[in-house]
Every structure is written in structure tokens, then in C-alpha cells.
Structure 1
Amino acid sequence: MTHIARHISLLCFAGCVLFGVSSCSPDAGPAVGEQASGLAEVIDWPGYGGPSGEQHFSPAGEINLDTANRLGLLWSYDLDRENSVSQPLAVNGILYVTTGRSKITAFDGASGDLIWQFDPQILETAGRALRSSWGSRGITYWQGKLYTATVDGDLICVDAQSGKQLWSVATLDPETGLYITGAPRMLDGAVIIGNGGADVSDARGYVTAYDGNTGEQLWRFYTVPGNPADGFESDAMEMAAGTWNGEWWRYGGGGTVWNAITYDENHTTVYLGVGNGAPWNHKIRSAGEGDNLFLASIVALDAETGTYKWHYQVNPGETWDYNASMDIALASLTIDGEARDVLLHAPKNGFVYVIDRTNGDFISAKPFVKTTWASMIDPESGRPVEDPAARYPDGESFDLFPGTFGAHSWMPMAFSPQTELVYIPTSFIGSRVSSGGIETEHWERYPGFGADGGMSAAPVWDETNPSRSALTAWDPVHQSLAWQVPTTGVTGGGVMATAGDLVFQGEINGTFNAYDASTGDLVWSFDAKAPILAPPVSFSAAGRDFIAVQTGSSTGAAALGTFFEDIDIDYRNMSRRVLVFALDGTANLPDRQPISLNAITDPDFDIGARPLMAGAIAYGRRCAHCHGLGGVAAGSAPDLRASSTILDDEAFAAIVREGALLGNGMPQFGELDDETLLDMRHYLRFESSQMRQ
């Protein structure tokens, strides 16, 4: 029964988990600026993807293969108890750290001295957008200003020196079900932001560019077409509409740009990584017909006007949550003797793509994991050669590899222009997918902002692979594996490569590792005493190099909490910190306090008193992404199996329905009736009872 209930929880939620200075060209070297104090030159990390081209590569080289053994903790700072998987920024020796509720804290990067803090105070205003519980992945910097986006859709500009808000603009209508989790990006004076929400609402994705000084809207580009009766916003939308069928606009269509946005200064182009459909199931969304542009696509726009240039679709007619929202790195590579400006992309579907970024021409794609949905990408057409059974015709189940979690989730990969390798945090989890029992012709979305893809997806494993995840080094020129090292759990953290021929990555078990970029040999490791999923950054100031990373779990990992039962992760003893390392650092972290997690005493529990599956579904669609699949928390929220509130009807309703803990970040689910709350409590009491066995 536990096995069934947990799989239902996952199928209800699966997939929800789950720049340099402005004058620096995408393929340039170090992004160097003068420090305000007049000290030695500094190397900054002013945007989410690093100094250039979204490569997550640092040109700082003091910390290298020869000196890594001297690397030590310089200072640390305890952050608020919220999601802490964001990426810091560093400009002119100042480190800017953001956390899940879009708070920003500024530190002296070398000393750790606190300079200022900014809090947009979103808990009381975010409404149902707070249910995404993700918050901010990162911020960006331009000309003395920082830009952050809140989960409920505000884009905020903050003075980088004082921490004072300069302006704020609403980028979306929260009633649409859209929200923001991604980091803004800079387009030479314009700041661009997308949104998310296609897993839980009738969303229609778009990106918007705003003037970096004033917040004035410059342009907006929709990624999927709306109702033809309302007219089309652009020629691109009219063209895209020809690839859709049925009344897709009733479901929004999806296509949210919640993560990947890359600016190419050399070609005055911005590349969007477009998300999955709403709902996932192609048979519902588009009557099972058409490519559904621009879902699961890389879309190139003129950065100045937002005008469509070209697109490449990784998954035509996408139906497995195989979005293209993973980061897009720019590179210049010699392929078949010809120098080419390319973009590198490793989306959820398990292939590494090399695309000509000047025109969108397909160059190559090869799988870096087991792929059962397609045997290859046709070299002539650039389209996948699919297994028809993967589309679960007539409701039959199919063992999909990679699964809906993806071979590569949001955690950034890195590209080193020195080794010309891509370093990908890789997952090997699969999904048993099916649309059995779902009325595709009369389907209605699960109400109340709950995860619903119009299909089911339960986890399966590749029995031939003993690992659940790995750090994969891939040669994109020859499309071949360079090296691979296993990592703990179902995914490792974000990755950074450096000019010191090192690759840094954190793990869910709390280790922070540095590998030889050419061989994969482990050269340094640190016990961070908390999970690390955030991508690291590197910066230099006053002639010294620093490495910074944040510790803490996320909603994406929490959703798969049942797979972390053998790892000591708990909401109450998991530290959310920023850690800063340098050569000869000697600071220490306090020991993690052990916590014994025990089931509640519940002698009156009767498993047959209520339908167990009803509670599993209600919990899985609303709660699992924070409190964990099967109630097994992985750190972003408390483990409810050990909470006495699941025994108390009034206390449970006060928290879940009335919002008694909204101030602590617990969203309010005012639409839930008494029966649903009883079903959820019954399911959680059952999961608690299994802890005693």
C-alpha cells in the first residue's frame, strides 16, 4: 500500500520539481572591472550564468589543480529558513546573496561583513503563487543596480550600493496562475524575465523586456499562440498556430520560460529555453496532433525588438514534460574543420544538442543517458526518431527513460572553453508513464493550483545502472563521454568550471567537491553539513580568488524525498548558509545537530476508515513538492509524518486552509473542504504508521 500511495503522489506531481560586465562578448575572456576602493583589479560574477555566455565558467585561476589542496572555508553566514538553492553574484568584491523569497543580502566578499539587506516582504501578498514554494533562483547586476523577481511576478530594481528599491513593475497577472522562479537576465541595458506555472494552471508563457533604468516595458514575446479569434500578437504566433490542433487555448498551452535565457551580444540575439505544454498530455492539449510550437524549443529573438529570428524544437508534440528549460551555453567550436558559433543544450530528454546559433541549424545531438523514448536524432531533419509506444497510445504504460524528472533538471551545467567539455549534473531515474483511466476528450484540470499533467508517471530505475545520478563530462565536438563520476541521490547540484582546470559541484549528502576538469579525479572535498544543490560561483578581489556557494535543499529535491531516506536530511537541522572559500581559509562549521525523527503516537488509526488513495492524490498534487513524496521530507519543509497536527482536525485546518503559518512561508489552501482535509490527514497518518515498521 505504501508503494502504491507514494507512486500516486509522484504521478500527481512529477515534473514540477522537478553575464559578464555588459561590454563582455559571449566568448570573451575574463570580465574584469576596477574595484571601487582602487585596489587590484577584480573578476566579477555579475549574472546567473557567470562572466560570459551562460557558461558557468570562471576565468579566475588562482585556485587550481596545484593549489586546491590549500582551499579552505574563509567565512560563512546563516541564512533564513527558506529555500537556499539560489546563485550569488559578485561585483567589485561585494557578494550579493538571494534566497527563496527574493531577499537580497550584501556582504564584503573577502571578510563576510554584512553591508545591507533587502526584503520585498512577499509572504502577505504572494497569494497562491506562494504555493510554488520555489522562490528565486538568482538575481542579476547592471551598472550599479540589482534586479530580482518575486514569486508573485514583480520585477524589482535595487540600488547595489545601498540596498534601496529604485522601482518595481508587475510582470504578470497572478490570477492567471503564472509565477516567477527564474533569475532575470540583462540584454545590454534591458532586463528580461519569463515565468512558470504550466504544471499547475492554464498558463500561456511569455517573456518581457524592461528598460534597466526605468522599468518601462520595451517588448513582450509570447511563446505559444492564443485563441485565433482574438488575433495574433505577431507573425510568429500566426505561424505557430498552424502547428496546434483542437481548442488548445482553453488549456493555455504552456511554454513558460521559467529558467533558460541567454544573451548573445555578438549576434544581438537572446535565446529562450521554452518549457513544456499545459497540460503535458499531447492528446488533451492538442488532440494528439501537431508539433505545438514553440513548446520544448530554443527560440532566438532580436534582443532589441523581441522579433522572432529562428527556432529549434527538441521535442515536437512534447508529451512527457521534456521541456527545454535547462541552461543554454554559448561557445565557439571547431567542428569538421570549421569554426562555428554554437549553443550547447542538454535538456531533460537525455540528448546533448549542438546548434548553430547564427541561424538555428542543427549540427548534432547524441544521448548522454539511456533514452527509450527515441533511438536517435535524425541528422538530416534534426527531429527525434521516436518509439511510438512512448506516447502511451490507448493508455498503455511505457517505461520512459529518462523520466519526467529529466536526465538534466534545472541545476546548471558548465562549459569550459579550455577543455571544451560540458559538465552536466545527470539523473538516471525513469518514469512509467500512462494515460490510462484519463478521459482525454473531457479532461478538466485538477482544481486549486494542484499539479496535473493529464497523465500518470511513477518512478522506475534502470536495473543495469547501479548509480542514481552522476556528474557527466561530455565532449560536444565529438559527441562522446569524456568521464563520469557517481553522485549521491537522484541528482547532484549545479556545476561551475574554472580556468584553474577544476569543476566544482555540491551533493545532496552535503559534500562540496572539486574535480580535475580533464579526468574527473577528485582533488578536494569539503563537508558542508547540509545539502548543496545551488550552483557555485567564483570571483576575485584584491588579488585573491574566492569560491562561494549556498547550502540547502529545494522543492525539486523535496518532491523526491522518499529516495533520500538513507541520507540525513531534515528541515529542522538543515543549515541554510552561504559559504565562501579561499586558499588557506581556516574557518570551521558547527556540527550538525542530530535529530531523531519519530512517528507520532496514533493508536486509534484505522487504515480502512477513509479512502487512502484520495488523500494520496490530494497530498501529492498540492503538498509533495515541499513536504516530500510519501511524506518523506527532504529538507525544504517539515516531515509531516512526525507532526502531531495530523491528529488534530482543527489545528490541521487552521494551518492548511486558514493560513495560520503563512508568516512562516506555509501557503494557504482556502479552497479545500472538510472531506479533502480529512483525506489528507488520513493519508499522512498512514505514512506515519509505516515509520514504525
Structure 2
Amino acid sequence: MIKGVRQGALVAGSALLIAIVAQAAPVKNRIQDQDWFGYGGNQDDTRYSPLDQIRQDNVAQLGLVSHFDFDVGGITNTAPIEHDGIVYFAASQAIVHAVNPLTGKLLWKYDPEVGAVAGPEMRGAWGSRGMAYANGRVFVGTSDGRLIALDAKTGKLAWSAQTTDKGDGRFISGAPWVFKDKVIIGHGGGDVAPIRGYVTAYDQKTGKQVWRFYTVPGDPAKGFENEAMAMAAKTWTGEWWKFGGGGNDWNAFSYDAKYNRIYIGTGNGTPWNRKIRSPGGGDNLFLCSIVAVDADTGKYVWHYQVNPGESWDYNATHDMVLTDLVVEGKKRSVLLQAPKNGFFYVIDRETGKLISAVSYVYQNWAKGIDQATGRPIENPEARYPDGKPFAMYPGSHGAHGTATMAFNPKTGLVYLPIMDMGRVYVDPPSLENFTFRDGERSNNGQGKAPAGIPMRPSVGALLAWNPVTQTEAWRVPTPDLVDGGGTATTAGNLVLQGHQAGNFDILAADTGKRLWSFDMQAPGSNQPITYTIHGRQYISILAAGRVIGPRPVEQQWDYHSLKSRLLTFALGGKDRLPPTNFAIPPFADDPAMKLDPARVALGKASFADRCAACHGPAAVSGGAAPELRRSQIPLSAETFRAVLHDGLLSSRGMPRFGEVSDEEIEALREYIRDRARAAIDHK
């Protein structure tokens, strides 16, 4: 929580106070009503709005119009969309809400009841990242692999398509993408299960499959789906198909109307370590690539691979901005991407050829990108050869995570949330004996990092980047390190960004100066949106993001008292949030419970594999899920087993771990108790 920030207050010392223009009633027909119908805001994925009713010179008058509180359990890591005066969002396990932003009133809600049907796939998805609107329908994906179409006015189910095979380890966390008469969706799961990535296009009206594009080749003995897969197979070695291969397109797409193409951003290898999945080396197409396919048929057109032979979880599943830039005096149609690996890429959309690539953060895995070939000039140590560990930057969280970037054509700048965070990569004790373990998030082919390797302090920032000159324009440090707040930008010279610390900030797009800040009383991780209703410009943001990992006591969010809410702003807004009532419970303990050091050690390993992603490393929660050191549930063996093994709270977003043995359950209980007692002693 950001302390001392008054709701709607202009930042102290701003010279803009002298330039405030009184805002009268909304001016009719001053601007045509504009919607925000998809995850990228528009088809070009720029998250730029041409609206300028809210500007740098009057943003001090921005106030809250309405707020809508909701409680559906689980983690809400989603971005809203808007069409025709209705805001839609998919909370927790894709529970769709339709809200009137002018009043904060719920119009309808649709629950796909993911908890009743999903299995292990709930563990990696964390719900839906976003939605899309087209032709009177809203579209959303679910953790259990369904793509759902709902009537936008009523919430009535139009159709549901199962895009994955039940129990195959795939899940949907990304937003669908709409174009022409189709809607496309990908999936995740490559960090958990041996799966092969693909993207599927469906007919918007009927839900019938139109085409499917696989991103890595399958078993050669079964034949290849097309020439692209036959070509890609030549870049793999060994029996890669037994490991799935990966390449999951779990997040980013763009539609290029100029060339009638879909751009697919693909993910890491499964497992990460190439020495396991492709022991003879090879580029392993189309891992960590941008792939262009024909929008009507899904036929391969071109690809650009950012990390040939990837071995680090260096996804290219990040925003792909489509725009025109003047490069060396010539107007070029380009694609911009800042993937995990720390380089900012400008790519020719017609040919897929590299125009330029420059590192935008500290990185030590490559000397640069060869302009002639487009390939990285790798540091040999980055392959952690001969079992030698390597402290690599960026690490697996990436220099740019899922927090969205935005591009403003008026300033010519990209607004990019970045992280300076590394990871030690090292082979496991045995490359030959690698096997996937059910339900665990350590299926990456990595060994345990040795102790004592020095690392740089981890920091986060919002970076303004010039893609023409490939230089930094400005940067602002942020409190977010992992999956910080996504951005949007407007013609009013504004950059909008929420933060997991709870503040919603608006900055000057040209200078980065903070112009306005609002205490949301809850974390925000996905991008704000802006739109008009009857000629008046509004801004909406969801304050319901997930916060992973330890935080200072004064910034801790308690899962049970934390409010999840949709906030809507406009010039002259007069709404107020109710007073906060955060009541973090004390650490829980049962003095009669005796701890066995061996079981505590087993519980520590199990917690890291199964629990830490939501409940926080070392059982220190950031608010994404209950703080187990303070919870009464682990004190009861029966209740703890009912939640963990039987899925008692699956409807609230807590996955079921049916494969966990009673011995492991008891080990987890003792580890949580050990962590609680350590905290009590520390106090």
C-alpha cells in the first residue's frame, strides 16, 4: 500500500497547477465514441488511444466515477475490455463480469465453473489474462482448455469449444484474439507437462475449428502436418517429441490487416534445457520465435527466432506492436517486441527480416545480435557447459514479463515495464534420467543452484524506449519486480500504469514526470484501459492483481481482507473508496505439534515445487493466496488434506493435488509450522 497518497491528488510540486482548465459538462460530439475491445486495445496491439479529453494539463481534475467490488477467490490477473458502454473482465478462474462503469453496477456474471472440471491445469494458469469482443460476443479462455463465447448483452452462452485434450497438461491463461470472422487462442503448460504447442482459429459464430498451426514438430514416424513442420524437424535432434518440445503460445498475438497475417509469439522449450530434449543441439524451431501465418488458412509465411536452441525459458510470447517507422529515411511497416532475453527487436513485417536489435537492460548472455544473420552472438558460458553453473542476466523471469508495453505514435516511444533480475542456470545431476513429475513446476531440466554465487540486486522500472534510435528516452524506478503493472498510453501525452504496491500512476509520456496518483487500496498488475461513453472519456483499471513473494510488512496484502475491485475514472469524478480495513492475522501455531527435521526438509522441497508459485517463496505470501503461516487450516490434518488432496476449495481457485501422498501432506504441514515458528521467534 502506498502511504500518504491522497485519492486523486496531484503530485506535490507539479507546475501543472497553473495550467488547470475548468472542466464543464461533457461536450457532445467532441470526440467519436471509442472502445477498447481486446487485450491490445486495438488490432495493432499498441495499447494507444487517440483520445485526448484527459490531458497533461487537466489530469489533476481526474476523479473516481465508480467502483465495483467483487469476491470470487483465487488470483485475478486479468485486464478489462470495453464495448458500447459496458466493461467486461474475467476474474479468477475466468468468471466473466459485465459492469456499467458509470454506476459500478453488475449487469451480469457468467461462471464457467472451472473448479468443478479442471485438474492439474489450474496450477499454472492463474485464471484468464484477458478477453476479446467482436460482433456482439465476448470471448474468454479457461484453465481447463475451453474457449467460450458469450452474448455480450445477456451473458448467455453462445458456444464452448474444448481446445485441448482433457488431462494433457495444457491450460489457457492468455487472452483470445479476434480478427475478421475468427477468434484464435493458444495455451500454456510447457513448464509442467510434456506438451507440444499449437494455436487454433475458430469461427466466431459457430465455434467450429477453422485451422490449427503447430509451433514445434511432432513424431516424424507419424508424418508432418505441413511443410513448415518438416522444415522445423530438421532443426531438432534425438527423440524430442517424447518431451513434447514446448513452444506454447500462451500469451501474445497480433493481426496485421495490411498483409492479412497473424503473428504468433512462441514460448520456451519443454524442458528448458536443450541438452535433454535435443541432445545433439539444433535451433529447435519454432521455439522462442515470432511466426507469421496467413490469417485465413494458418499457413506458414515466415519466422524470426529470437533465441535459437533456447535453454533458459526465454519466451517470445510478449506484446508484438505493429506500426510504421521511418528508418534511415524510409517508411517501414514494422513489428516491435521486447521479449524476455533483454533485446528490443524491430522486425520488417513484410519479410520477417531483422531491422535492428539492441539490449534494453543489463544482460550477459550475448555480445549482441548479428545484423546480417539476425542471430545472437552468444557468450559460450551461457550454455552452462560441462555442468558449470552460470549466473545469467536476465533470468527466467525475463527482462520483460507479462506486464504489457504500449506504443505512442505521437511521442514515438514505447513504454516498457522492465526487470533487472538474474538466475543461476546449471544442469541437473543426470541429464539422461530426466522425467516429468506430476503437478510440479520444476519440470525444466535445471539443477539446484550452488550456494554463494553473487547476484546483482533485483530492481524494476518503467522504461521509455525509442525504437528508431534504439535508445532510452527516460526511466522511472518502480516498486514492482516481477510482473509489474502493464501500461497504456494516450494522445493526451499520458502513460497509465498501476502497481502491485497499490498506486495507480499517470505520467507525462514525453518526460516520465508523474502527474497524478491514486491509492487503489489493492494491487494492480494488468494494464488500464480508456474509452468514451457519450463523448466523455473514462479510464478503468482492475485493482486485483497477484503479488508473488515476500514484501515489507508495511506493504503486505492480506488475502482475506484484500478487496478486488474495478475502478473507473473521469474528469470531475466524485466517488470515494470506503476506508481500508486491513487486518493481518497473527502467525498460527500449535505448541503440541512436534516437528521432525526430515519431514520438514521434505516439506520444504514439496512446497517449492507445488505451493510457492501462489503462496510465496519460503511460505511468505504477497497476497496472491492465503498466508499459510497465519492460516488455521494447516493446523488440522483432516482439513488440510481435504483442501490439498480432495479439492475442497477448488471453486475458490485452490487447485486439487490428488497425487500427493499422506506422507507429503504431513511434511508440508510440518514445514509450514516450522516457517511460522521461525517468524514468531524472529519477532
Please report the TM-score for the alignment, with normalisation by the length of structure 1. 0.91
Identify if the C-alpha distance between structure 1 residues 416 and 459 changes in structure 2 by more than 3 Å, giving closer, same or farther: farther
Segments of 5+ residues of structure 2 without an aligned counterpart are: 1-27
Residue 145 of structure 1 pairs with residue 163 of structure 2: no
Deviations for 1:508-531, whole angstroms, at most 9, x for unmatched residues? 110000011010000110000111
SS at match of 1:562: coil
Contact 1:95-1:108 at 8 Å conserved across structures: yes
Distance 2:447 2:515 in 1: 42
Which residue of 2 is the match for residue 663 of structure 1? 651
Q: Which residue of 2 aligns with 1:33?
A: none
For residue 20 of structure 1, what is the aligned residue in structure 2? none
Q: What residue is the counterpart of 2:662 in the other structure? A: 674
SS in 1 for 2:113: coil
* 2:116 paired with 1:128: no
Alignment CA distance shift 1:267-1:457 (3 Å): farther
> Following the alignment from structure 1 to structure 2, what is the Cα–Cα distance between the partners of residues 584 and 54?
30
Hey, what's the Cα distance between the residues in 2 that align with 1:304 and 1:254? 25
**What residue number does 2:101 align with?**
109
Structure 1 equivalent of residue 167 of structure 2: 175
Equivalents in 2 of 1:424, 1:78: separation in Å?
Answer: 29
Which residue of structure 1 aligns with residue 266 of structure 2? 274
Tell me the equivalent position of 1:192: 184
How many residues are treated as equivalent by the alignment?
Answer: 652
Deviation at 1:393, TM superposition (A): 1.2
1:480, distance to aligned residue in structure 2 (A): 0.4
Question: Residue 327 of structure 2 corresponds to which residue in structure 1?
Answer: 335
- The aligned residue for residue 54 of structure 1 is 45
Matched, 1:628 2:620: no
Structure 1 equivalent of residue 603 of structure 2: 615
CA displacement 1:211-268 (0-9 Å, x = unmatched)? 1111111000000000000100110001000011111111100010000011111110
1:483 corresponds, among 474, 498, 502, to 474
TM-superposed CA distance for 1:88, in Å, is 1.1
1:616 is matched by which residue type in structure 2? K
Show the counterpart of 1:265: 257
SS in structure 1 at match of 2:668 = helix
Equivalent residue runs for 1:490-509 within 5 Å: 490-491=481-482, 492-509=484-501
- CA distance in structure 2 between the partners assigned to 1:609 and 1:332 by the alignment: 61
Task: Write the deviation string for residues 180-220 of structure 1: whole angstroms up to 9, x where unpaired.
Answer: 00110012111000000000000101000011111111000
Q: Is the 8 A contact 1:40 1:541 kept in 2?
A: no
Q: Is the 8 A contact 1:396 1:436 kept in 2?
A: no
1:610–1:682: 8 Å Cα contact kept in structure 2? no
**Residues of 1 paired with 2:601 and 2:382: CA distance?**
26
Report the counterpart of residue 463 of structure 2 in structure 1. Answer: 472
Is 1:529 the equivalent of 2:521?
yes
The answer to whether the 8 A contact 1:394-1:436 is kept is no
Shift of 1:649: 2.3
CA distance in 2, matches of 1:216, 1:380: 43
Deviation at 1:387, TM superposition (A): 1.2
SS in 1 for 2:116: coil
Q: Give SS of 1:348's match.
A: coil
Output one character per residue of 1:283-311: Cα deviation in whole Å (capped at 9) or x when no partner. 11111500100000000000000000000
| 1:653 alignment partner in structure 2 | 641
Aligned partners of 1:199 and 1:278 also within 8 Å = yes
Q: How far apart are the structure 1 equivalents of 2:48 and 2:499? A: 19
Aligned equivalent of 1:431, options 423, 431, 437: 423
In the alignment, is the contact (CA less than 8 A) between 2:418 and 2:463 conserved in 1? yes
Shift of 1:384: 0.9
**In the alignment, which of 386, 392, 411 is matched to residue 419 of structure 1?**
411
**1:125, CA displacement in angstroms?**
1.0
Structure-1 separation of matches of 2:654 and 2:357: 42
Deviation at 1:385, TM superposition (A): 1.2
The equivalent position to 2:568 in structure 1, one of 556, 566, 580, is 580
Aligned match of 2:85: 93
- 2:457 and 2:451 map into 1 onto residues whose CA distance is 13
Which range moved further: 112-121 or 233-242?
A: 112-121
Please give the alpha-carbon distance, in whole angstroms, between the structure 1 residues aligned to 2:436 and 2:627: 28
Counterpart contact for 1:641–1:688, Cα < 8 Å: yes
The Cα of 1:665 is off from its aligned counterpart by: 2.3
Shift of the 461–208 alpha-carbon distance from structure 1 to 2, 3 Å rule, reads farther
Q: Conserved in 1, the CA contact under 8 Å of 2:558 and 2:582?
A: no
Partners of 2:428 and 2:448 within 8 A in 1: no
Q: Structure 2 vs 1, CA of residues 594 and 461 (structure 1 numbering), >3 Å: closer, same or farther?
A: farther
> Take 1:590 and 1:355, find their aligned partners in 2: how far apart are those partners?
48
Q: 1:350 aligns with which of 338, 342, 349?
A: 342
Per the TM alignment, residue 542 of structure 1 is displaced from its structure 2 partner at its CA by 0.9
Taking structure 2 as the reference length, what is the TM-score of the superposition? 0.92
Contact 2:53 / 2:492 at 8 angstroms: preserved in 1? yes
Q: Secondary structure at the match of 1:481?
A: strand
Matching residue of 2:21: none
Superposition deviation, residue 140 in structure 1: 0.6
Question: Which of 200, 218, 229 in structure 2 is aligned with 1:226?
Answer: 218
The question of whether the paired residues in 2 share the 8 Å contact of 1:133 and 1:626 is answered with no
User: 1:102, CA displacement in angstroms?
Assistant: 1.4
Map 1:227-306; keep pairs closer than 5 Å: 227-287=219-279, 289-306=281-298
Counterpart code for 1:490: L
Deviation at 1:465, TM superposition (A): 7.2
Q: CA RMSD in A?
A: 2.1
Single out whichever of 344-353 and 664-673 deviates more from structure 2. 664-673
Q: Is the 8 A contact 2:313 2:396 kept in 1?
A: yes
Q: 1:163 to 1:460 in 2, by over 3 A?
A: farther
**Corresponding residue number in structure 2 for 1:599:** 587
Q: Give 3-state SS (helix, strand or coil) of 2:292's partner.
A: strand
Q: In terms of mean alpha carbon deviation, does 480-489 or 394-403 score higher?
A: 394-403
* Amino acid corresponding to residue 512 of structure 1 in structure 2: F
SS in 1 for 2:276: helix
Q: Structure 1's 528 and 83: CA in aligned 2 closer, same or farther, altered over 3 A?
A: same
Quick one: which of 393, 396, 410 aligns to 1:404? Answer: 396
For 1:449 and 1:518, how far apart are their aligned partners in 2? Answer: 45
* Corresponding residue SS for 1:691: helix
